[in-house]
Amino acid sequence: MSLQTIDRDLQELADSLAAVTQGVDRLREEIGSARSELERLTEEHKQAEVARRHLERELAEGEARIRNTRMRQNLIRNEKELQALAHEVESQKESNQRQEAELLVLMEAADTRAARIKELTALIEQKSAESTAAEKEIAGKAEELKESMRKRRDERDALAEQIDETLRQRYDVIFSRRGGVAVALARAGTCQGCRMRLPPQLYNEIQRLDDIRYCPNCQRILYFEPNSES
C-alpha cells in the first residue's frame, strides 16, 4: 500500500509537470507550424518573382516585335506580305494578352501571399515572446515538481527493495493495467477495486493476513483492515 501511495503521488506529479509545460509546448508547436508555412510561402514568393520578371520581359519583347512589324508594314506594298505581317501582329497580340492575364494572376497571388507572410511574421514574433515569458514563468514551478519527483523516486526505490522481486513485478504489471490501483481493500466480502463479491473461503483467508491474496476477477492484490468492517 505504501508503494502504491508513492506511485500514485509520482503519477500526479508527472501529470502536474505535463500540465505546467503543456502551454509552452503548444506555443512551440504553433511557432514551428507558422515557421514552416512562412518558409514555404517565402520560397513560393521567390519563384513567383522569377516567373513575373520572365513574363514582363516576354511582354516587353512582344510589344517590341509588334512595333517592329508595324514599321515593316509601312515599307511593304505587297498585299500578300502585308497580310502575313498583319497575321503576325494579331498572333503576337493574342500571346501578349495571355501573358498579361498570367501576370495579373501572379500579381494577385503575390498580394495575398505578401499579406499572409506579414501576418505570419507578426504571429511568430508574438508567439515567441509569449513562449519566452511562459518558460520563465514555469521554470521555478517545473524545477520544484522535478525535485519532488526525485525525492519520491528515491523513497520508492528504498521501499521497493524491501518487497519480494516477483511480487513487485506483478504489482508493477497490475498497477499499469488497472489505472494505478494494484492494491485494493477487501471489505464486507467484496473487492473494493472492482466491486465483485469474493468467495467466502478466500475472504476468510485474506482476514488471516498470513499470505498474499489476489482478487479472482480483477487480479488486484487484496488487503484487509480489521476495523474496516464496522
Domains (ranges, CATH) in the chain?
Answer: 2-160 (1.10.287.1490), 165-229 (no CATH)
Question: Mean of the pLDDT values across residues 196-206?
Answer: 95
Q: What is the mean pLDDT of the chain?
A: 90
Q: List C-alpha distances in Å: 157 to 3, 11, 32, 54, 195.
A: 9, 15, 39, 71, 31
- Please compute Rg for the chain using Cα positions: 39
b/e burial code for range 42-79 (CB count within 10 A of at least 16 → b):
eeebeebeeebeebeeebeebeebbeebeeeeeeeeee
% of the chain residues with pLDDT over 70: 99
Which pLDDT band holds residue 228 (cuts at 50, 70, 90)?
A: low
State pLDDT tens for residues 128-180: 998 888 888 788 788 888 999 999 999 999 999 999 999 999 999 999 999 99
Between 66 and 201, residue with greater pLDDT: 201
Residue 108 amino acid letter: E
- pTM for the full model? 0.54
Instruction: For 182, list phi and psi in degrees, rounded to 5.
Output: -100, -25
